[in-house]
A and B are shown apart, each in its own frame.
Chain A
Amino acid sequence: MAAVFEVLAPGLLTTVQDRGRHGYQAFGMPVAGAVDEYALRAANLLVGNAEGAAALEITLLGPALKVLSPAVIALTGADLGAMLNGAPLPLWQAAAVKAGDEISFTGVRSGCRAYLAVAGGIDVPVVMGSRSTYLRGKIGGLEGRALKAGDRLAAGEPAAAARALVGRRVPPELIPTYEGSLTLRVVLGPQDDHFTAAGRETFLTGEYTVTNEADRMGYRLEGPKIEHAGSADIISDGIPLGAVQVPGHGLPIVMLADRQTTGGYPKIATVISADLYRIGQAKPGDKVRFAAVSRKEAVQLLRGQEEKLWRLAELLSRPAGRVRHFRITVQGKKFEATVEEL
């Protein structure tokens, strides 16, 4: 496989992630995988990959990458100020890059995690069915670790020719916004009965702040303390994605991709799947509230989110209408225009 990127600077935390390592939790193996699956899947669709292909998950401060061979890339998720050779690189669309190009990031504007997909997918060895990096277990991705300067990344074989991919974009209505103040919808349980009525009330009415202890494993929140009904320990059981566990100190922790598979703290609620990307894009200092929904509503909302991705896949799979690009100059200002046949 041809190396496609060389890492000039790794950024704060850049790892290879796909949709995670499923099927091994019974052995104690955490799932890992992209924290914002919607952005990962959209990025892959843009460059013609399977939705679950491996891509780079870029956290807050992006890396500097030198392009070593021609490729088609797409950047989705957080707006971290992406630049291509010093000019802004548009998000949520496929772009061609060539040898010698440099991808860099000026700083975070909204959200927390960006996803950089490349046509053909990032090619690293598959470990237990996944290319995802699990940092604490030192497996997956590039030698089980975050990228560092000097690393070279290879891509697999693209599914389509570059000219068929370049310019594909996600329509605005399918692009999420990342807010600094969010309400996460939850399904109460499995251990909401381990809290007093007042404790549940606190949880559903209080405003919480994302602390600095917020990573791929979980987000610790600060705010009003949630009262337990009795002991703050349960007999260890499984921890689902999005579980909100509340240890003895009474403050919630939202469990994310790298969470341990089992644990002994009661879980008052679980963030619904359709809202997981929102907590995954939250930053320290952001405000979080919780609102209870029924499991039925949660399934409906999940379906709604999946339908968006189906729609995107369908839009992109249409034989490309003739697309023509124009550069026009109006009163000395340069514009780029795209005319698409419908």
Chain B
Amino acid sequence: MYSEPRFLPAGERALVVEFGDEIAPEINARLRALTAALEAAPVPGVVEVVPTYRSLLVHFDPLTVAPEALEERLAHLAGNLGELKLPEPEVTVVPVCYGGEFGPDLPFVCEHTGLSAEEVIRIHTGTDYLIYMLGFTPGFSYLGGMDERIATPRLKTPRTKIPAGSVGIAGKQTGIYPIDSPGGWQLIGRTPLKLYDPFREPPVLLAAGNYVRFTAVTNEEYDAIAAQVAAGTYRVQVEPKGEGRGA
């Protein structure tokens, strides 16, 4: 982590506030704190803020606030984040039906890691994953903290269409596809939850700074939850992070 954030120009209408040059929870917490500070007390001219792993992209109107003045303002805010308490993180429980048609690559993950399907599922469901950021496609969350014992390289040939809700592993990462898209992740299961729905407010289920916990469900449970999601009656299980499973 840098002792003071770096300001990098991104044209005259955006700037990058960079807090470090690695992926680490404490760096991510700093930029989330700055995001929260900007939400609590909006700075005139700032139009949108995009938090990522280790930096914020701040979009602003330079005809309302000069870039240099904005940098000063942000530096001041960033220097006083100690007083700001981040909201208590929450854990969103994501039910997943592992293996079978939903997780066609689970056998390959087992073969690659030398673990049984039960062990892979136990390890995958045994961690609360920090949501570092959202990006790439609407609702895609970059999760941190996967157990390296189940790390598996990407497919050699990406699939042209992966159904929304698919849960996969790519190297040391794990994630959920929010929309049908091509991709090269090893698919181990699928969730019936809708991670992204443009007509819902907010359109995206997960938020940076919170956690995801996968929980294994049977085919029957998957179908039952899917029916409730379709009917709009499913209540997503959200818990306070507390001191539970580490990330």
Which of A's residues lie within 8 Å of B, judged by CB?
22-30, 127-128, 136-137, 139, 186-191, 235-243, 260-263, 267, 270-273, 295, 298-299, 302-303, 306
Contacts and interface: CB of A to CB of B under 8 A. Distances in A.
Nearest to A191: B8
Contact of B50 (A25, A187, A191): A25
B11 A272 contact: yes
B134 interface: yes
Given A28-B134, A262-B133, A238 B57 contact: yes
Contacts of A25: 48, 50, 57, 59
The 3 A-B residue pairs whose C-beta atoms are closest, nearest first, are A238-B57, A262-B135, A270-B11
A302 B10 contact: no
B62 interface: yes
B28 to A, nearest CB: 11
Contacts of B48: 22-23, 25-26
Nearest to A190: B8
B208 interface: yes
B185 interface: no
B203 A190 contact: no
Contacts of A235: 21-23, 52-54
A243 B59 CA distance: 13
28 contacts: A22-B47, A24-B203, A25-B50, A25-B59, A27-B196, A27-B202, A29-B138, A127-B198, A136-B137, A139-B198, A186-B11, A187-B10, A189-B9, A190-B15, A191-B8, A235-B52, A236-B142, A238-B14, A241-B11, A243-B11, A261-B135, A262-B50, A262-B52, A270-B9, A295-B9, A302-B63, A303-B63, A306-B63
B172 interface: no
B189 interface: no
A82 to B, nearest CB: 32
Given A189-B9, A272-B11, A28 B139 contact: yes
A237 B12 contact: no
A302 B13 contact: yes
Given A235-B21, A238-B14, 9 more contacts: A25-B50, A187-B12, A189-B9, A235-B23, A238-B56, A240-B57, A262-B136, A270-B10, A299-B62
Interface string B174-206: 000011000000000000000010110011100
A263 B178 CA distance: 17
B8 A29 contact: no
B165 interface: no
A189 B12 contact: no
B202 A127 contact: no
B236 interface: no
B166 interface: no
B139 A26 contact: no
B168 interface: no
Interface in B6-64: 8-16, 18, 21-23, 47-57, 59, 62-63
B97 to A, nearest CB: 24
A238 B52 contact: yes
B224 interface: no
Contacts of A270: 9-11, 14
A126 B7 CA distance: 35
A272 to B, nearest CB: 6
Contacts of A241: 11, 13-14
Interface string B127-171: 000000111111110100000000000000000000000000000
A198 B59 CA distance: 30
Nearest to A267: B10
Contacts of B95: none
Nearest to A139: B198
